[in-house]
């Protein structure tokens, strides 16, 4: 298994964990917020699960499929996190279409709420572009 396939497999594990957050006792507070920061609903869980299965499939198919996954997934998740800073909502869960913009903010809460997508997306995009050269 190549390094880029291992990255995709790692994303499978991380995204599978993200899809399970709502179902682990103690992770969500009395308001339904994971870690007291963000709400995850069934749609978010399904999105994370489908992304995890996409990552697993890519890792098993080979290096080229892993590159495609990492680049596309990375761009989508990174963009979603950036939109979160500008509007308070992302586009992957259609939040920007169903909620009025909360405006640009770099408060600690907004940073913590968007950091997972920015970090996951940024690392995936960089890994896909750097490790996928020549594929």
> Do 121 and 81 meet the contact criterion of CB atoms below 8 Å apart?
yes
Residues in the chain predicted with pLDDT less than 70, given as ranges, are: none
The answer to whether the Cα torsion of 48, 53, 54, 60 is positive or negative is positive
Q: Report yes or no on whether pTM surpasses 0.85.
A: yes
Task: Give tens-digit pLDDT for 42-77.
Answer: 889 999 999 999 999 999 999 999 999 999 999 999
């Amino acid at each position: 298994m190549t390094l880029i396939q291992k990255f995709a497999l790692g994303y499978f594990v991380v995204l599978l964990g993200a899809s399970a957050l709502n179902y682990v006792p103690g992770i969500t507070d009395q308001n339904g917020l994971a870690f007291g920061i963000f709400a995850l609903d069934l749609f978010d869980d399904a999105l994370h699960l489908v992304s995890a299965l996409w990552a697993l499939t890519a890792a098993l198919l080979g290096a080229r499929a892993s590159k495609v996954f990492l680049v596309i997934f990375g761009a989508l998740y990174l963009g979603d996190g950036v939109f979160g800073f500008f509007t308070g909502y992302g586009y992957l869960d259609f939040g920007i279409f169903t909620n009025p913009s909360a405006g640009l903010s770099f408060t600690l809460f907004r940073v913590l709420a968007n950091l997972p997508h920015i970090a996951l997306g940024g690392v995936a995009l960089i890994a896909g572009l750097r490790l996928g050269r020549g594929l």
